[in-house]
Amino acid sequence: MAGRKPKVVGFCCERHGMDAAVLSARSGKEFDASVRLVQVPCTGRVDGMHILKALEDGADCVFVLGCLEKNCYYDTGSIEGRKRVEYVKQMLSEVGVEKERVEMFNSASTNAWMFPEIVSKMVALAKKLGPIGGEKQ
Amino acid sequence: MKAASIQVILCKCCTELPAVLNIERLRKLAEESCNVVSVMMVDAICDGKGLPAVVNNAKEAEVDRAVILACHKKDIDPALFKAYRRAGINEFMIEIVNIREEALLPHASEPERAQLKAETMLAASLARARLLAPLEKQTEAMKTKNVVIIGAGASGQAAAHAAAKTGAHTILIEKTGKSLKAPGIVMPHSQVVGAKGYGGNYQLTIKAGDKIENLDAAAVVIATGGGWTQLKGPLAKAVKDAMPLYKLHEHLQAGSVPKGPVVFVDTPDPTGKTMKVQDYAWDDTLETALQLKRKARETQVFVIFQEMRAFGLSELAYKEAADLGIKFVRYDKSAVPKIDPKEPTNLIVKDFAQGDVLSIKIGTLVFSSIPANQDNQAIADALRIPMSVDGGVRRGSIQRWPVTTPRPGIFVCGSALFPKSNEVAKAEGEAAGSMAGEFVAKGEIEFGGSVAQVTQEKCSACLTCIRTCPYEAPFIGTASKAEIKEQLCQGCGMCVGICPSKAIELHHYTDDQIMAQARELLGGDF
């Protein structure tokens, strides 16, 4: 489908994830507008259901952005978040959806350049894979 | 249930950028949206001047929740929430949307998409705002006014003085039996071995001598400081009489000067696999080298380092050091200093800046290193606070809470975090002591709000939440179902995400609220 804009949802943790996004914006970095950020208190809060519902509601890709694993504000939060994402990936591959559509990232709140990289990676993937169940470009 | 009535505030300071965002379009969209009863434009919401008008408008329009389109939530003044509370609006009924950093700044080159994104974000936050519920925080009185300070070093003593000024009862716990003057009670030969409770009401288990004692504490300050180490690796084999920095300092205080040339190295083992932050030379090396050089001008002094950080004004010491003729040699990890195989009293270093290979004769080898204190792990386990990768205690946030740990009521200062000089440790001790005193002076703790809650009927008592929670907040209650101790809950929601029965709910971040926001965000085509 020509002219279709990709849709990417990012679940960002309140502590480092969102701060990284905000810092990259403040330091003058531009990233693709297709990304939609949802704030959660910790990536451990992200439920498989949230990711699957987002995919069902029309997202092409979903990413979860949390603290660095050894520096998580809630100690084990981003490790829990990664487990949740791995679980969803496995579920997706079982139903025949590309598991790359869901990804977990970790970033420090002082890392301004990582967030635009994550976004461009996920948006490129969304463009490549197209909508779920649709034709590949 | 009464339908939601929402007040929308557009912060001009954050959202007005005429080239990118058409604020009138946003305003119109807000006015046309369902449940919105009042739309207001404010010059700058973070400036207190606009607040009375906002609150009066909220009162007149009889709204029960607000959506604020502004910038980052953490940068909004808490005065805003206080003003709304006076107007009878709960702080958890206010939704702040970061239009500035999520739509405006990063998409400035695509104004049309930025506009559509801002409009979608408004719709999504309205959808979330409709689902918000008011939450009340509860209070509990503190049982004691005790501030327990672990470690009576430079930072610990500074913390005790600062805490005592605020009227708190200070109790210093010291591992050794050294005599010291500090306000309050000093417990020599004692260690913390266990802790129960939560910020404001901790019950510490203390091993004093051979006895085990219990101690109530309202706040805890960790001031364990650093530890000491020996020279390691190939250097240790070749150089037998190397001394740590503090020993040289003691010698200088006593008036004796070591035989030159004196070589300072920044780590006890330059060939070690990983250089941790503890291994780097800090400004105390610089100070001691200067002291030595001032005492004995003719002694040659070399400082060999990979990374040296002087704190604040102590950077001026570089200039004095250069004037006095102290030689600085920076080396790279790829060419670590080693002993000359032909001449075992010489050290071979490749200067990173010049590229020259230098051979330095060692008179006295001094190594500066403050490794992490071995006791940190035990204390962190007892108090259930996170550790840093380097083995220090971790602070909440380097910018916002530099002497606070993520757990309320526990503060940390000095070299317990990572090695630092005496002055900095004292300053941090004062800060931590004052904060602990302030915490205790409140006399009561606030808890609740955005915490998890178990729906007892759904719980199957599988213990998953108990295993997952890093704060040990969930427990099995009298009804053989999980319950959550609100005082311990930090509101991370890990138990909520993992609960297989979906029996736990995190207030303010419920499944409905998160998914409604995501759905609305995906509705917009931009």
pLDDT digits (tens, 9 = 90+) for B388-398: 877 888 888 77
Query: Residue B281 — very low, low, confident or very high, per pLDDT cuts 50/70/90?
Result: low
Task: Reply yes or no on whether the pLDDT at B108 is more than 60.
Answer: yes
- Which residues touch A22 (CB under 8 Å, ≥6 apart)? B72, B98, B101, B102
Which chain A residue's Cα is nearest to B405?
A73
pLDDT score for B73: 85
Q: Which helix (H) or strand (E) holds B350?
A: strand B346-350
Closest to A122 in 3D by CA, of A106, A97, A101: A101
Which chain B residue's Cα is nearest to A80?
B494
Q: pTM (2 decimals)? A: 0.82
Question: For A22, which of B101, B389, B519 is closest by C-beta distance?
Answer: B101
- Note whether B326 and B303 are within 8 A (CB): yes
Question: For A45, which of B74, B107, B493 is closest by C-beta distance?
Answer: B493
Which chain A residue's Cα is nearest to B124?
A38
The alpha carbon of residue A133 is apart from the nearest alpha carbon of chain B, in Å, by: 17
Mean pLDDT of B254-261: 86
pLDDT score for B76: 82
Mean pLDDT of B340-358: 87
Residue of A14, A67, A74, A78 to mutate for B, most B C-beta atoms under 10 A: A74
The alpha carbon of residue B50 is apart from the nearest alpha carbon of chain A, in Å, by: 24
Domains in chain B (CATH in brackets) are: 6-135 (3.40.50), 146-226+373-445 (3.50.50.60), 233-367 (3.50.50.60), 449-507 (3.30.70.20)
Give the lowest-confidence range in B196-210, B265-279, B401-415. B265-279
Residues of B whose CB is below 8 A from A30: 106-109
Read off the pLDDT of residues B464-512 as tens digits, 9 standing for 90 and up.
999 999 888 999 999 999 999 999 998 999 999 999 999 999 999 999 9
Q: How many CB pairs under 8 A join A and B?
A: 131
pLDDT score for B278: 63
- Note whether B75 and B400 are within 8 A (CB): no
Query: Residue B74 — very low, low, confident or very high, per pLDDT cuts 50/70/90?
Result: confident
Give the lowest-confidence range in A44-58, B201-215, B251-265. B251-265
CA triple B345-B346-B351, angle to 5 deg: 160
Residues A9 and B522: their CA atoms lie apart, in Å, by 8
Task: Reply yes or no on whether the pLDDT at B413 is more than 90.
Answer: yes
Cβ distance of A54 and B396 shorter than 8 Å:
no
Mean pLDDT of B178-185: 84
pLDDT score for B386: 84
> Could you report how far apart the first and last alpha carbons of chain B are, in Å?
35
pLDDT score for B395: 85
Question: Please, what is the average pLDDT of chain B?
Answer: 88
CB atoms within 10 A of CB B138: 12
- Which residues touch B249 (CB under 8 Å, ≥6 apart)? B288, B291
β-strand A102-106 against B6-11: which pairing, if any?
A: unpaired
Which chain A residue's Cα is nearest to B395?
A73
Residues B143 and B233: their CA atoms lie apart, in Å, by 52
Which chain A residue's Cα is nearest to B493?
A45
Question: For B522, which of A9, A29, A80 is closest by C-beta distance?
Answer: A9
pLDDT score for B354: 87
pLDDT score for B1: 62
Mean pLDDT of B90-98: 92
Cβ distance of A44 and B492 shorter than 8 Å:
yes
Residues of B whose CB is below 8 A from A112: none
SS3 B441: helix
CB atoms within 10 A of CB B309: 14
- Which residues touch B75 (CB under 8 Å, ≥6 apart)? B46
Closest to B110 in 3D by CA, of B2, B21, B39, B173: B21
Residues B185 and B182: their CA atoms lie apart, in Å, by 8
pLDDT score for B438: 94
Cβ distance of B497 and A45 shorter than 8 Å:
yes
The alpha carbon of residue A32 is apart from the nearest alpha carbon of chain B, in Å, by: 7
Domain A8-129 has CATH 2.30.30: no
pLDDT score for B442: 92
- Which residues touch B522 (CB under 8 Å, ≥6 apart)? A7, A9, A36, A54, A57, A58, A59
ipTM: 0.95
The alpha carbon of residue A96 is apart from the nearest alpha carbon of chain B, in Å, by: 23
Read off the pLDDT of residues B421-459 as tens digits, 9 standing for 90 and up.
788 889 999 999 999 999 999 999 999 899 999 999 999
Q: What string of DSSP letters covers B34-61?
A: TTEEEEEEES-TTSGGGHHHHHHHHHHT
Closest to B96 in 3D by CA, of B79, B115, B81, B112: B81
Cβ distance of B494 and A59 shorter than 8 Å:
no
Residue of A29, A34, A39, A102 to mutate for B, most B C-beta atoms under 10 A: A39
Cβ distance of B494 and A30 shorter than 8 Å:
no
pLDDT top residue among A94 and B229: A94
The alpha carbon of residue B247 is apart from the nearest alpha carbon of chain A, in Å, by: 34
Counting as low any pLDDT under 50, the low residues of chain A are 1
Residue of A1, A7, A22 to mutate for B, most B C-beta atoms under 10 A: A22
Which chain A residue's Cα is nearest to B73?
A14
The alpha carbon of residue A125 is apart from the nearest alpha carbon of chain B, in Å, by: 17
Residue of B489, B521, B526 to mutate for A, most A C-beta atoms under 10 A: B521
Cβ distance of A30 and B106 shorter than 8 Å:
yes
Q: Which helix (H) or strand (E) holds B444?
A: strand B444-448
Residue of A36, A85, A102, A104 to mutate for B, most B C-beta atoms under 10 A: A36
| Domain boundaries of chain A, sorted by first residue | 8-129
Question: For A26, which of B101, B109, B497 is closest by C-beta distance?
Answer: B101
Cα dist. B190→B126, B149, B178, B371 in Å?
Answer: 56, 12, 12, 22
